[in-house]
């Protein structure tokens, strides 16, 4: 990759599912490890920060944009051998669900309809319908971005340090290059039916007709809050895949359904979603989040944990989890 292929002043809005955000000073796509090395060398020579952009489904970009280099990997290889899938981090998760189902490989059917990439799903340990991607991750090939040679390493499942919507990749400087998934044998027909159900459920229950980033807040594990809170919401506690209080129910009972600032609105369809009504500014989205955090703390003494990552903001908010 030559530096001439690095673009300047590129809008990041089209690269996020929220469809908001300002301009990246520099932007490039990388197809392999050599491209990645050259992009990082460019950032070092310019003495600018860089950010690895995956599917943009769990990201809020500032209206001011990003005064550095956005690197968008295009690692899209996919190979299936027996019960194992070796797949590039940039491969679209929902597309992989279909491939696995067709081959009768069980382990991803719960992810039907989820946006984003395989690498993004591993980084955030994506999960739904009592399933999590950590349950089928065997190994992750990754590189430390701070090392000059981008020395590669292999992490096994335990070394990925998976937690609830968490992994080691959220807290270190490693980029996921490739994931090896250990699947189980399943009935293709039943797997496809499960994925069709999850897609239908999301279509019916989630505001997918509006730009959004999915859930704004993590659900609330019952073992991290007070017994009084658990009793107050005992009628809605569910397994996800362990005991949690659905944050949507908490927001709904706080009377925040439909709350709106400018073009940003708490979805009347699913209250753990903030939707872009078409003309939302990023600061309006942030203001809605701040109002939710403050209201839930005052009403129920619950500290909400925000899922999406923020990029390009001048300040770090008290509620940021990363």
CA distance 67 to 13: 15
30-69: per-residue pLDDT in tens?
999 999 999 999 999 999 999 999 989 889 999 999 999 9
Give the pLDDT of residue 322. Answer: 40
Burial of 216 (0-12, 13-18, 19+ CB in 10 A): buried
Query: Could you read off the pLDDT of 252-287 as tens digits, one per residue?
Result: 999 999 999 999 999 999 999 999 999 999 999 999
Instruction: Specify the pLDDT at position 241.
Output: 75
> Any idea which residue has 């050599």 for tokens?
34
116, pLDDT greater than 80: yes
Question: What angle is formed at CA 16 by the lines to CA 269 and CA 248, rounded to 5 degrees?
Answer: 25
At 72 the three-state DSSP class reads strand
More confident residue, 86 or 129: 86
CATH 3.90.78.10 domain extents, the chain: 208-311
% of the chain residues with pLDDT over 70: 97
pLDDT at position 240 over 90: no
- Bond preceding residue 241 cis, omega within 30 of 0: yes
Residue 312 CA to residue 296 CA, distance in Å, equals 27
CA atoms of 158 and 215, how far apart (whole Å): 26
Closest CA to 295 of 270, 268, 271, 277: 271
Domain with CATH 3.30.465.10 in the chain: 78-191
Q: Which of 167, 195, 215, 267 is flagged as catalytic?
A: 215
Least trusted range by pLDDT, from 46-55, 73-82, 283-292, 311-320? 311-320
What is the pLDDT confidence band of residue 320, given thresholds at 50, 70 and 90? low
Cβ(30)–Cβ(74) below 8 Å: yes
What topology does CATH give the domain 78-191? 3.30.465
Catalytic residue among 123, 141, 155, 165: 165
Cα separation, 272 vs 214, whole angstroms: 8
pLDDT of residue 208: 80
The span from the CA of 98 to the CA of 112, in Å, is 8
Task: Note the pLDDT tens digit of each residue in 165-192.
Answer: 999 999 998 999 999 999 999 999 999 9
DSSP class of residue 80? Answer: E
Q: Is 195 a catalytic residue?
A: no
Other Cβ atoms closer than 10 A to 313? 17
Q: What number does CATH give the domain 3-73? A: 3.30.43.10
**pLDDT of 110 strictly over 80:** yes
The answer to whether 238 and 244 are in contact (CB under 8 A) is: yes
At 269 the pLDDT is 93
Residue 228 has pLDDT above 60, yes or no: yes
Q: What is the CATH number of domain 208-311?
A: 3.90.78.10
Q: What is the mean pLDDT of the chain?
A: 93
**Where, residue-wise, is CATH 3.30.43.10 in the chain?**
3-73
What integer pLDDT is reported at residue 131 of this predicted model? 92
Task: State yes or no: pLDDT of 1 exceeds 50.
Answer: no
Reply yes or no on whether the pLDDT at 291 is more than 80.
yes
Whether 307 is a known active-site residue: answer: yes
- Contacts by residues 133-138 (CB-CB < 8 Å, ≥ 24 positions apart): 133/108, 134/160, 134/162, 134/167, 135/107, 136/107, 136/108, 136/181, 136/182, 136/183, 137/162, 137/179, 137/180, 137/181, 137/182, 138/84, 138/180, 138/181, 138/182
What is the rounded CA–CA span in Å between residue 6 and residue 22?
18
List of residues 6+ apart from 246 with CB closer than 8 A: 219, 220, 236, 238, 240, 272
pLDDT at 233: 95
% residues pLDDT > 90 (the chain): 85
Q: Evaluate whether 267 touches 288 at the Cβ level (below 8 Å).
A: no
Question: Predicted confidence band at 3 (pLDDT cuts at 50, 70, 90)?
Answer: low
pLDDT band at 24; cut points 50, 70, 90:
very high
Residue 139 has pLDDT above 60, yes or no: yes
Average pLDDT, integer, range 106-132: 93
User: Annotated catalytic, 123?
Assistant: no
- 4-8, 129-133, 273-277: segment of lowest average pLDDT: 4-8
The mean per-residue pLDDT over the stretch 148-155 comes to: 89
Mean pLDDT value of segment 217-229: 92
């Amino acid at each position: 990759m030559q530096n001439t292929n690095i673009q300047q002043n590129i809008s990041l809005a089209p690269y996020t599912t929220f469809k908001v955000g300002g301009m990246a000073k520099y932007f490039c796509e990388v197809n392999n490890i050599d491209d990645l090395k050259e992009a990082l060398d460019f950032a070092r020579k310019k003495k600018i920060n860089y950010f690895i952009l995956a599917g943009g489904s769990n990201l809020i970009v500032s209206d001011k944009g990003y005064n550095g280099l956005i690197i968008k990997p295009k690692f899209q290889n996919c190979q299936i051998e027996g019960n194992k899938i070796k797949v590039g981090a940039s491969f679209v998760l929902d597309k992989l669900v279909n491939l696995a189902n067709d081959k009768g490989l069980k382990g991803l059917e719960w992810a039907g309809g989820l946006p984003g990439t395989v690498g993004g799903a591993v980084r955030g340990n994506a999960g739904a319908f009592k399933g999590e991607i950590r349950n089928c991750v065997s190994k992750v090939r990754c590189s430390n971005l701070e090392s000059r040679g981008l020395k590669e390493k292999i992490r096994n499942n335990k070394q990925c340090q998976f937690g609830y919507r968490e992994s080691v990749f959220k807290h270190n400087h490693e980029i996921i290059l490739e994931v090896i998934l250990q699947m189980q044998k399943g009935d293709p027909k039943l797997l496809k039916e499960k994925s069709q159900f999850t897609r239908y459920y999301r279509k019916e229950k989630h505001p997918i007709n509006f730009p959004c980033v999915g859930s704004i807040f993590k659900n609330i594990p019952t073992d991290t809050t007070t017994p009084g809170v658990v009793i107050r919401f005992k009628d809605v506690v569910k397994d996800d895949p362990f005991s949690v209080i659905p944050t949507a129910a908490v927001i709904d009972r706080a009377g925040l359904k439909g709350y709106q600032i400018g073009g940003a609105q708490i979805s009347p369809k699913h209250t753990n979603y903030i939707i872009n009504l078409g003309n939302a500014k990023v600061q309006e989205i942030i203001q809605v989040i701040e109002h939710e955090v403050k209201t839930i703390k005052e009403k129920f003494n619950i500290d909400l944990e925000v899922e999406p990552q923020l990029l390009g903001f001048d300040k770090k908010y008290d509620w940021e989890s990363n």
